[in-house]
């Protein structure tokens, strides 16, 4: 007869256990180059240890689910957003419910911290769906290739490669549209130091107009004057496209992928007008801990919410919608239209840039 397993947790990691939690993350996510600790030192710091939820079995740290709390600016106000990261179970301890326990514990903790919204990026959507998460929001990715790059205009500004020396000016450009994670200087500096990240800037008379952030042939972020960005993308493509690679055997991408916020106000309209191909995906998975609190934070308190037997009923004037929790995610955050309800206000505009995702 085997002895029963002794469970310790799920619970907050102590500062003395951050190393063991990192060992688990490196084993699961980065076995070749154990660098989870340097990926984002703020979230793996001892100060953030309480937000790393862990489970020990017979003394061994076998499962982890962490989160970080963001200020998330949307078109209808600032939200407190809890972003999940590094959900991992040791390979020898999987399929025993430990991963689920840690995620549920992280969800409970971010609800306790007053988060009105949860976010995560994943490839195992159905596993999270069973825990109350749903795909939502929208992400656009354009493709630029060796033919279509010639359709992009020549840059009408000075293009430089490398970070703009005054990163505060970059941060101001990032914040200008008023959508997305509100970044502190420290958070932004950590993101800019990510391994392999490159930057191209457009400027005139020493003033920063726009920047793009990219790794190889993936452009992950752009900010600044919309008119400058197509030219910057052209410059990045021409610099990064490796013309020496054999064309018959190199199967890299179809070209350069440009990921961006779904907005017709910005530079994307120029690319759409050129007819460049674009894919649309979700901007991650979302969880709403407390629908009335979220509606309140979005200045939608005239929508009343009641919940019974897994159905959420929303009422506003003479409009009513009876929805599942997943449908509420879609109604509020898009992109699908699941009900003809408050269509004049919903979905809100919001976007989480890839680099903020942990
Ligand atoms: C994803 C991951 C964290 C899941 O961890 P886990 O501890 O195995 O998770 P759970 O045990 O809660 O659930 C896994 C499966 O075991 C099943 N299960 C749960 N308890 C069980 C038990 N006592 N007996 C048998 N099966 C069980 C679940 O129903 C689930 O089944 P499914 O895959 O058929 O849907 C783990 O596989 C992992 O670390 N993967 C690599 C990293 C990763 O992908 N992380 C997520 C990135 S967002």
Confidence at 249, pLDDT banded by 50, 70, 90: confident
Cβ-based neighbours of 1, under 8 Å, separated by 6 or more: none
What tokens does 352 get? 């989480």
Per CATH, 7-136 and 140-281 having the same topology is answered yes
pLDDT score for 280: 97
272 lines ligand 1 (CB under 6 A): no
Testing ligand 1's pocket by substitution, the residue of 5, 61, 96, 124 carrying the most ligand atoms inside 8 A of its CB is 96
Mean pLDDT of 180-189: 97
- CATH class held by domain 7-136: alpha beta
Q: With cut-offs at 50, 70 and 90, classify the pLDDT of residue 79.
A: very high
Least confident among 34-43, 268-277, 348-357: 34-43
Q: pLDDT, tens digit, for every residue of 291-330?
A: 999 999 999 989 999 999 999 999 999 999 999 999 999 9
Q: Which CATH architecture has domain 140-281?
A: 3-Layer(aba) Sandwich (3.40)
Query: Can you tell me the distance from the alpha carbon of 119 to that of 109, in angstroms, rounded to the nearest whole number?
Result: 14
- Measured in degrees and rounded to the nearest 5, phi and psi for residue 5 equal -75, 135
Does residue 63's CB lie within 6 angstroms of at least one atom of ligand 1?
Answer: yes
> What does the pLDDT average to over 174-187?
97
pLDDT value at 132 more than 90:
yes
CA quadruple 286, 290, 293, 296: dihedral positive or negative?
positive
pLDDT tens readout for residues 194-210? 989 999 999 999 999 99
Angle between helices 167-175 and 185-192 in degrees, nearest 10? 110
Q: How confident is the model at residue 3 (pLDDT cuts 50, 70, 90)?
A: confident
pLDDT at 245: 86
Q: What are the domain boundaries of the chain?
A: 7-136, 140-281, 293-351
What pLDDT is stored for residue 134 in this prediction?
Answer: 98
What's the pLDDT score for residue 251? 65
pLDDT at 1 over 70: no
What does pLDDT average to over the chain?
95
CA 60 – CA 43 distance, rounded (Å): 22
The reply to whether ligand 1 has any atom less than 6 angstroms from the CB of 89 is yes
pLDDT at 39: 82
Arithmetic mean of pLDDT, 333-352: 96
Extract the tokens encoding 286. 């979302």
Q: In angstroms, rounded to a whole number, what is the distance separating the alpha carbons of residues 55 and 61?
A: 6
**Which residue out of 31, 57, 99 has the highest number of ligand 1 atoms within 8 Å of its CB and is therefore the one to mutate?**
99
Q: Using the predicted structure, report yes or no on whether residue 254 has a pLDDT greater than 90.
A: no
């Amino acid at each position: 007869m085997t002895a029963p397993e002794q469970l310790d947790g799920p619970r907050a990691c102590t500062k003395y256990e951050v190393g063991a939690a990192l060992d688990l993350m490196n084993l699961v996510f980065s076995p070749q180059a154990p660098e989870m600790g340097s990926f984002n030192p703020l979230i793996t710091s001892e100060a953030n240890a309480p937000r790393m939820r862990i489970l020990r079995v017979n003394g061994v740290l076998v499962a982890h689910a962490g989160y970080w709390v963001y200020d998330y600016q949307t078109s209808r106000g600032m939200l407190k957003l809890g972003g999940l990261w590094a959900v991992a179970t040791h390979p020898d301890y999987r399929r025993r419910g430990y991963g689920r326990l840690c995620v549920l514990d992280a969800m409970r903790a971010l609800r306790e911290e007053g988060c009105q919204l949860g976010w995560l990026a994943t490839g195992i959507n159905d596993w999270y769906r069973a825990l109350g998460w749903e795909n939502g929001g929208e992400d656009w990715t354009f493709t630029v290739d060796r033919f279509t790059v010639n359709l992009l205009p020549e840059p009408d500004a000075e293009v430089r490669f490398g970070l703009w020396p005054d990163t505060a000016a970059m941060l101001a450009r990032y914040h200008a549209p008023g959508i997305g994670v509100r970044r502190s200087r420290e958070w932004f500096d950590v993101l800019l130091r990510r391994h392999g990240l490159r930057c191209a800037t457009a400027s005139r008379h020493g003033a920063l107009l726009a920047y793009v952030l990219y790794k190889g042939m993936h452009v992950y972020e752009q900010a600044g004057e919309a008119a400058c960005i197509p030219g910057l993308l052209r410059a990045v493509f021409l610099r990064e496209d490796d013309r020496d690679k054999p064309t018959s055997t190199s199967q890299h991408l179809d070209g350069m992928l440009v990921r961006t916020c779904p907005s017709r106000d910005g530079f994307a309209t120029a690319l759409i007008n050129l007819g460049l191909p674009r894919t649309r995906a979700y901007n991650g998975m979302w969880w709403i801990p407390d629908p009335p609190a979220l509606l309140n934070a979005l200045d939608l308190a005239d929508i009343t919410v009641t919940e019974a037997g897994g159905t959420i009923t929303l009422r506003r004037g003479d409009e009513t919608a009876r929805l599942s929790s997943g449908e509420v995610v879609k109604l509020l955050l898009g992109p699908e239209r699941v009900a003809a309800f408050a269509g004049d206000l919903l979905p809100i505009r919001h976007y989480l840039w890839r680099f903020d995702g942990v």
